[in-house]
Structure formats: structure tokens, C-alpha cells
Structure 1
Amino acid sequence: MNSELSSSPKPIPYGRQNITEDDVAAVVDTLQSDFLTQGPKVAAFERAFADYVGADFAVAVSNGTAALHLCAMALGVNEESRVITTPITFVASANCVRYCGGTVEFADIDPATALLDVEKVRQLIESKPKGYYSGIIPVDFAGNPVNLEEFRKLADAHGLWIIEDACHAPGGYFFDSNGEQQHCGNGKYADLAIFSFHPVKHIATGEGGMITTNDEKLYKELLKLRTHGITRDPELMEENHGGWYMEMQELGYNYRIPDMLCALGISQLQRADAGLARRKGIAKVYDEAFADVPGITTLQTTAAAFGEASATGHAYHLYVIQVQDRKGLYDFLREHNIFAQVHYIPAHTMPYYRSLGYQKGDFPAAEQYYAGCLSLPMYPTLTQEEQQYVIEKVKAFVGR
């Protein structure tokens, strides 16, 4: 191994964007065009992304949280709504319900995958009268796709909608009961799906998000809500005074995304498959390195958890290990310029959600997972030497 790398590498973060000369050229070209916002690059990015995930429609917005908020609004979440989600997620997955005045109810995770446990959700739903709950927000945590077919069956039995939080999983997929490949965000089982283009995600635009759906009515509602609740479509107006006329028909938001960010997104999308392949390669190296190391546990893929063969559509936004002394390993890695991260602090333990009645101990599997989880560096430009250095240091700490 390179001795210089082993002793003093450059900082290795848990995630990192990759901006190429083609990306820069795409942004500059748009900056020099006639449109900086509400121009043709927005629609072009939406079409390209919808094609990528296999959905009929896509709506580009300012960030993933805005995407979640608009989904909740479009589905009619209000003060009477009760929505189920996972505690192991970024808090935006739950906050979008609170933005609309609804009640968030958490259900515990499957400890093998850290995904929302469909059986726990079933128990929660069946413990209440029919119609008590409005919807479910499963999360494709770390890039591991939720088996949405199972959630769809449950949702249909109780009249619930589904928002798939696929921020970690563009390009991810699972196999349904017919053996068909179902891509995250394709709209087959979820009413709406959302994605994020934060710099550490697969597709980086700085900030940005996308909503995908196969429901044309929801699609048109999202377009309106994204722009202040305003429509310029003459067929939807109550009046029409002329070419300048527009109508604000409901209270929406300014959740638009600029054209230059969409230009960057289009450019990034062109190498999304290559980036995903590299992530899977990195994961395979980690898998092999930690397979027989006492004291290190890795999360199962959806395929493995369902007893399937090794085929998996895991998108590997994160590579998570679990260890007994997580704080010790976290500090040790930082001392060696490896900036691992923790994903996530259980949402129900946050002071805000505790103020709503939740408390530590409510979801034991989520809390046990959190006690030992650590996300190791995972991004396409991570070099083989850097990854081997990470593995070397993790093993050195765990083995001592």
C-alpha cells in the first residue's frame, strides 16, 4: 500500500459532488441564454428525469424538502390527516406533514435493512378504525429500495396514498412478485415520488429536487402549487382578460428551480449510470472487506432480506456499517482525515417531535440501529487507494 497515503491522506468525506468540464459548459451556456428561470431547461430536465426513472410526469422544484411539501399539499394533507413514516430518515420526510398541519406517526424499522417495516405499519393501521390514517411515506434509505408492492397492497386495503421518498435512490429498483424490475420513482406503486439533487446525492445541482408521478391530475396540481398557486392555462381559468392574464387559484409557493441548475442536472444525468455502477463497485469492495470481520455488521439489501439471490437494485447513496463503539470509531477516523457521518438520528428523538409526545424508547429497532450506525465514504470519485485506506483504518480500530 502507498505509505504516504496511509500516513497522511487528503480529507476523505462521506460524500462528494463531481463537477466536470461538461457540467460547467452546460451551466455557462444557459447563463448566456435568454432564460435564467422558467425557461426551456426546466422542462428538458423534467422530461429527461421522467424517462430515466420510467415515470409519466416529473416536476422540478427548488429542493427535496419543497418536493415533499408540495406532494403533501397536492394529496390534501391537513389538520385531520395522520401520516405514517419511518424514524430513520432526514426529518424533512416527516416535516412535510407538519407543514400542512397534519399529524406524523412513526412506525419502527426492520433491523436487517433499516427500512420502514411493513408489518409494523400494518399493525399500526389495524390498531385504529378504518379511515384513521391518510397515507404512508416510505423512504428508500441509503439507496436500498423499499418493496413498494407490499406497501401498495396495504395502502389499497385501507384507502391510503403513498409518497415514496426516493432521495437516496435514483437508478435503484426492486423486483416485484411477477419478477419485473420496478425502478424507484416510476409511479407503479406510489402516488408520488420525490428526489433530491443536493451535492452529496447521485445527481448534484447544488440544491434542487424532483417529483415524479403517473397521475396527470396530481401533475397539473403540482405545477400550479410550485408557482404561487397561479395558472396561465386558459382552460383552467375562471376568467380571461387577455394574453397577460393569470389567476391565483389557491395558496401555493415559489418553489421553482432556475434553468442553470436544470442545465447542470441534465449534464449530470448523462453519466448517472456510470456513477451508479461505480457506487456498486465500491459497495462490493466494502462487502468483501468486512464480510468476516467480527464486530462489524452491514445492512442487508432488500433482495437479501426477502430471501432472493444476490441481484439487487440498491443505489448506494450511503454505505452503512454498525459497530459497538460508534463514537470511538467516528473520532478515530476523523483523526485520520476520514470524515464518516451518521445517518440518521431517529426523528422521534428530536426535541420538536418529543414536544409532540414522542419519547426515547418508543421505537427500539430504530434506536438500536442509531446507536451503532456509521456511513463510510461512498461517492464515484473515491479512489481505490482511498477506499483501501478507509478499510484499513476501520479494521484497525475494530480489531484492537
Structure 2
Amino acid sequence: MIPYGRQSISDADIAAVEEVLRSDWITQGPSIDRFEQALAAYVGAQHGVAVANATAALHIACLALGVGEGSRVWTSPNTFLASANCALYCGASVDFVDIDPATYNMSTAALAAKLEQAKAAGTLPDVVIPVHFAGQSCDMEAIGALARDYGFRVIEDASHAVGADYRGGKVGNCRHSDLTVFSFHPVKILTTGEGGMLMTNSADLHRSLQRLRSHGMVRDPAMQQEQGAWIYEQQELGFNYRITDIQAALGLSQLTRLDAFIARRRELAARYDRLLAGLPLAIPYQADYGVSSWHLYPIWIDEEKAGRSRRGVFDALRASGIGVNVHYIPVPNQPYYQRLGFVPGQFPQAERYYNGAISLPMYYSLTDAEQDQVVAAVRQALGQ
């Protein structure tokens, strides 16, 4: 089976982890600081805060921005559950902004229209979480301008997009947002096993995030009421969302190959574009304001032209040993969210995309021969 995603672990990665395992620090040690500083420097942000996973990052990002009971958070329906769940964890309400039918990212036109309606109704969001689907950035300059006009804060969910480019900079530099979240799950571009990181240019948010990931504690004497080498003070309600030195060492090692990971993914994406041309499907559209890091390569099956259903194509590919997947079932269509009041048809572009979507294998170690096998299976499944 050729999987849709796979990590790439080198001997250097293993050696980096082994070095930490043989050191005095395996949990909260110096590798974490080095990893945070190195990735922040790579993307051009002032601060990084490493955490246990991207869901934890989204949760404390919301908390750091003051999301709580009575707050309103908007995100994309075309995303994993965590992009919306993070607001519910804080007691906030959640709503969605439909996607652009070309990029599959949050539509800036739909966002602007929804904001105007919310302004008239007195229900503007406190926070908007655009999601950089498949590795392509949302149009953050436009979203940032809307944030200034309507007074909301912005968390970029860049779980798919470490290494992506946007308007001459790296995704994660927070030029148009308060915070950016990355994921390091094994199917992502860079892995720490499990893990995530937040980026920000705000010193205040940086300090808040550091407290929130570690039980709300501080050990800085300048911030403590009582002095002593043993003193730790809980100053707010936080969580045990810490990453380990073991994971950070792996992330640091992986970071040295991030540019190579991205280059190969872009090469594979360009090759898919060529090999799939002329088939009754849509290849991923790329906006001219950036370059995707290609966490996913999602095709869209045109059932009318193909004379085949998405389910039929998906099942045929799986039967051929191609481990395709589907990203994503629209979050508002999930049973839990239906019980919150969302109904089918509210976000038609996200539903249309979902009904034809298939994610093809995309990872650094995918060979040209394996990719040829994937494309041959797609042609066969489409009867071409």
C-alpha cells in the first residue's frame, strides 16, 4: 500500500534523539528553546512556543486572546475538527465561513459579506481562524485588513503549511495575524512524532502562551510573590501541554531538511499536474500570492464528466493499493455540530468540494515510480 502521507526519519534524526536520551534532559530541556528559536527565525517571527500538539496550540491561542464564555469564533468548514473545537473548549460559540471554490481556503469575499451582516446584527466575531488548507496560504493580507476594519483577532491555522511562502515571506511570520499554529504530526511536512508550535510577534502573547502550556505557572522571580529557588507559582489556570526535549531534538533535526522536504513536494505536485492533465478531475489551484508547501495533493472528481462517483474512484484506488484519503468532511456536517444547530446546505462550497475530494499520496520519499503507479491507478479508476 502506498500511503497518502509518511514521515521521513534519517540517521541524523535518530542520532539527535539518542543524544538527548543520553543527556540529563529528556523532558523540559535546552532542545525546546533551540527548536523554538530556530523555527521562529526560519519563518521570520519574533517568538515560538512549542507544545504537545497543534490542538493544544489552538486551544491556548484562543485563551491567550481572551476567548471565553460569550466570545464568537469563526473558522473554515474545510478543516480538521480541532480548528473549531478549540473555541468550544473555551466556552465560546463557533461559526464558519464558506470556502473559495478555487483554493478551498476561507473565501475572503464570503468573510467580508458575513462580517457586514454580523456588524448590522451586533454579532461580530472576536477571533477568526483561517486555515491554510493543503499547504496553501489563505490571502492573509486581505484577512488582516478585514481584522483591522472590524476589530477581530486572527489565529492562522497553518497546520498544513510550515515552509509555505506568502507574498515574499514565510507563512508563520504573523505579519497579518496575532498568532500562527503549526502541526508536527507524522503525516505533516516536519514531524516531532506529536507536537505543535505557535508563532507570534507579541511579547505579551509569548509570555501568556508559555504560562498556559505549563499549568499557568511562573518561575521567574520578578513575577513571583514569594522568593526561593524552589518556588513555582500558578498565576492562572493552565494546562500540561508541554512538548519534550526528545521531540524537540527530532524537530530541530528535521528542520535542517525542511527546505529539501518542501522542494521535493513541489516537484511531486508539478509532476502530478502534468500527469493528470486531461482527466475528468480538477487539480489543485494555486493562487499567485504564494507557493504551497504541499502537505496534501487533493484532486476533485468531476462525477458528471467522469461518469463515476467519488466513492467508486476512492474504493478502486484503495483496492489497487493506493492509500488515498479524503480531507475533509465539513465540520458543520459532523453529528456533534449538527446538534449545535448547523444543517446541511449552509456552506455549499465546502460541501461541493467534499463530495468530490480525494487526497493522493504526497510525501518526501514518494518516488517517481510510485507516483507513476498512483497516476496509472487513477486513470484506471476513471476508465481512461
Amino acid at match of 1:29: E
- 1:49 corresponds to: 39
- Report deviation, 1:299: 2.4
- 2:341 corresponds to: 357
Unmatched 5+ residue regions in structure 1?
1-10, 176-180
Q: Distance in 2 between matches of 1:147 and 1:364?
A: 20
Q: Distance in 2 between matches of 1:235 and 1:84?
A: 37
- 1:7 corresponds to: none
Q: For 2:294, which of 311, 316, 337 is the aligned residue?
A: 316
Q: Distance in 2 between matches of 1:173 and 1:120?
A: 24
Amino acid at match of 2:365: T
- 1:235 corresponds to: 222
Q: Distance in 2 between matches of 1:251 and 1:236?
A: 16
Q: For 2:13, which of 5, 23, 34 is the aligned residue?
A: 23
The 5 A counterparts of 1:271-282 are 271-282=257-268
- 1:149 corresponds to: 141
- Are 1:199 and 2:186 an aligned pair? yes
Q: Distance in 2 between matches of 1:78 and 1:302?
A: 35
Q: Distance in 2 between matches of 1:274 and 1:344?
A: 27
- 1:6 corresponds to: none
Q: For 1:326, which of 289, 292, 310 is the aligned residue?
A: 310
1:203-260, Cα deviation, whole Å (9 max, x unpaired):
11110000000011000000011100000112222x1231211210110000001101
Q: Is the 8 A contact 2:137 2:171 kept in 1?
A: yes
1:65-119, Cα deviation, whole Å (9 max, x unpaired):
0000010010010111111110000010010000000011101100111000011
- Report deviation, 1:125: 1.2
Q: For 1:296, which of 245, 269, 281 is the aligned residue?
A: 281
Q: Is the 8 A contact 2:124 2:150 kept in 1?
A: no
Q: Distance in 2 between matches of 1:350 and 1:206?
A: 27
Unmatched 5+ residue regions in structure 2?
304-308
- Report deviation, 1:301: 1.0
Q: Is the 8 A contact 1:279 1:379 kept in 2?
A: yes
Q: Distance in 1 between matches of 2:48 and 2:282?
A: 37
Q: Count the aligned residue pairs.
A: 376
- Report deviation, 1:351: 0.7
- 2:306 corresponds to: none
- Are 1:256 and 2:248 an aligned pair? no
* DSSP-derived class of the 2:59 partner: helix
| TM score, norm. by length of structure 1 | 0.92
Q: Is the 8 A contact 1:84 1:121 kept in 2?
A: no
Q: Is the 8 A contact 1:145 1:314 kept in 2?
A: yes
Q: Is the 8 A contact 1:18 1:381 kept in 2?
A: yes
* DSSP-derived class of the 2:222 partner: coil
- Report deviation, 1:131: 6.4
Q: For 2:49, which of 59, 65, 74 is the aligned residue?
A: 59
Q: Is the 8 A contact 1:55 1:213 kept in 2?
A: yes
The 5 A counterparts of 1:132-211 are 132-175=124-167, 181-211=168-198
- Measured on the aligned residues, the alpha-carbon RMSD in Å equals 1.0
* DSSP-derived class of the 1:164 partner: strand
Amino acid at match of 2:283: T
Q: Distance in 1 between matches of 2:258 and 2:284?
A: 24
Q: Is the 8 A contact 2:97 2:114 kept in 1?
A: yes
* DSSP-derived class of the 1:211 partner: strand
* DSSP-derived class of the 1:227 partner: coil
Amino acid at match of 2:163: G
Q: Is the 8 A contact 1:146 1:302 kept in 2?
A: no
Q: Is the 8 A contact 1:131 1:158 kept in 2?
A: no
